[in-house]
Amino acid sequence: MERKQGFFSALRDEVIRGLSPVRSRSKSPARSGSPMSALLRRRPKQLTNGEPLIGRSGSLTGETLAPLYEGPDQEGSELGESKRVGSVIGHWMKGQLSRTPSMTATMAYKHRSDLRLLLGVMGAPLAPVHVSTNDPLPHLSIKDTPIETSSAQYILQQYTAASGGQKLQNSIKNAYAMGKVKMVASEFETASRVMKNKHGARAADTGGFVLWQMNPDMWYVELAVGGSKVHAGCNGNLVWRHTPWLGAHTAKGPVRPLRRALQGLDPRTTASMFSNAKCVGEKKMNGEDCFILKLTADPQTLKSRSEGPAEIIRHVLFGYFSQKTGLIVHMEDSHLTRIQTNGGDAVYWETTINSSMEDYRSVEGIMIAHSGHSVVTLFRFGEMAMSHTKTRMEEAWSIEEVAFNVPGLSIDCFIPPADLKSTSICETSQLHEDERGNLNSNSNSNSNSNSALVVSGHRAKVAALV
């Protein structure tokens, strides 16, 4: 018990410093007295008193996260202030590219842009379509129903039963999960060469995340890795995200659940997400025979998520459900964006996230995946073949603790930041134009190094739109 209390005491300090929902709020009178702040000060024993439906899992190692600062740009503006391309980051990038970078400076910049890319893509991606936990699962029907649809409904019925049953899942009003993550940019490929990370294990950035969920359709997540932090949330009507380099901005399109919650942490939302999917076949995945369910975002949803020069062309989600256990064991997410700049050729960015969920354990009757691994591929193509790039990234995560029906959690914990701004796609276009100019001007012996830096910065910017 002393070991657990020591861990939560350390966690509390970290949460108060940087991993608390109220940390990202505006300077409001309720900032210091939020129910979330009071909740996180409680010890585990106090958290469970009087609440029979609370499940905990995982091992408590006593490890704490490293001290956090708000972002890789230490000379930037205050937290929450949106950084335009023409400001600190843009001028800094132009200044760096105007002179020959040293090897140390090049590696430092590369690590920082890799970290931005990792957090932009893996930090808080959303599911393809809107889904509400209040929507009931469709009634299993065979008559006048295509076999692909009826088969998918049957598979989801089996999944719901294997995950704990609909009655038990409906009794959960809110949930909490805490875990550790390890991220690394493992490979970068251009038309002429492939650069692999030779020190993958040592170069990996480690950290942790905290996820809160509450009905209906509210969630909040903070991910702190390598000294930088991304946090995002949804109050049921609006989805927002905050990164140190873009500030706080809203997500276009309908309210959508957090993809990280679908990775074995939220069976009810996962079943609702695939309620309109189709069964497209079978495949052996990670040694298990699986049914494959395919979910595609409709054109209207894609249009509502597009803005300015950025057009979302396709977003498809595949779920692999084990024929043996009924649980989801793998997920593949494919997202394609087209960016058309003024006077330039179109550039396409395809993001593919393959996630495997493992180590399912029962937490108060609900089956929760306690570990997993994701491989992300970010492919840029268009224009000339020589400009094509492909980046491979990896993430491993483990769940340390899960709790249901946490006392004291209220809607005040899901209030968006006061400095919220609309997503600025034009920043991407401006940066793309700046980069093209820099690529054309850097034709000396250091052009390959400079080009890699520029492309890396643009990758991180586009990744924030996923």
Query: What gap in Å lies between CA 83 and CA 348, rounded to an integer?
Result: 24
Task: Evaluate whether residue 443 is within a structural domain.
Answer: yes
Mean pLDDT of 183-203: 78
Mean pLDDT of 213-227: 93
pLDDT at 122: 87
pLDDT at 457: 44
pLDDT range class, residue 320, cuts 50, 70, 90: very high
Q: Is the pLDDT of residue 328 over 50?
A: yes
Task: Evaluate whether residue 378 is within a structural domain.
Answer: no
Of 78-92, 172-186, 349-363, the range with the lowest mean pLDDT is: 78-92
For residue 425, the enclosing domain spans 109-186+203-275+398-463
Encode pLDDT of 241-270 as tens digits: 998 888 888 988 999 999 999 999 999 999
pLDDT at 149: 84
We report the CATH number of the domain holding residue 439 as: 2.50.20
Task: Evaluate whether residue 372 is within a structural domain.
Answer: no
Task: Evaluate whether residue 179 is within a structural domain.
Answer: yes
Output the pTM of the full model.
0.72
The 3-class secondary structure across the chain, one letter per residue, is CHHHHHHHHHHHHHHHHCCCHHHHCCCCCCCCCCHHHHHHCCCHHHHHCCCCCCCCCCCCCCCCCCCCCCCCCCCCCCCCCCCCCCCHHHHHHHHHHCCCCCHHHHHHHHHHHHHHHHHHHHCCCECCCCCCCCCCCCCCCCCCCCHHHHHHHHHHHHHHHHCCCHHHHHCCCEEEEEEEEEEEEEEEEECCCEEECCCHHHHCEEEEEEEEEECCCEEEEEEEECCEEEEEEEECCCEEEEECCCEEEECCCCCCCEHHHHCCCCHHHHHHHCCCCEEEEEEEECCEEEEEEEEECCHHHHHHHCECCEEEEEEEEEEEEECCCCCEEEEEEEEEEEECCCCCCCEEEEEEEEEEEEEEEEECCEEEEEEEEEEEEEEEEECCHHHCEEEEEEEEEEEEEEEECCCCCCHHHHCCCCCCECCCCHHHHHHHHHHHHHHHHCCCCCHHHHHHHHHHHHHHHHHCCC
Number of domains in the chain: 1
pLDDT at 220: 97
Q: Which of 76-80, 128-132, 141-145, 173-177 has the highest mean pLDDT?
A: 173-177
pLDDT range class, residue 459, cuts 50, 70, 90: low
pLDDT at 419: 80
Encode pLDDT of 343-373 as tens digits: 778 899 999 999 999 999 999 999 999 999 9
pLDDT at 86: 39
Task: Evaluate whether residue 232 is within a structural domain.
Answer: yes
Task: Evaluate whether residue 152 is within a structural domain.
Answer: yes
Tell me if 175 sits within 8 A of 161, measured CB to CB: no
pLDDT range class, residue 13, cuts 50, 70, 90: low
pLDDT at 81: 39
Mean pLDDT of 143-156: 84
pLDDT at 286: 87
Q: Is the pLDDT of residue 442 over 80?
A: no
Encode pLDDT of 384-437 as tens digits: 767 788 999 999 999 999 999 999 899 999 999 888 865 444 333 333 333 333
Task: Evaluate whether residue 306 is within a structural domain.
Answer: no
Task: Evaluate whether residue 77 is within a structural domain.
Answer: no
pLDDT range class, residue 448, cuts 50, 70, 90: very low
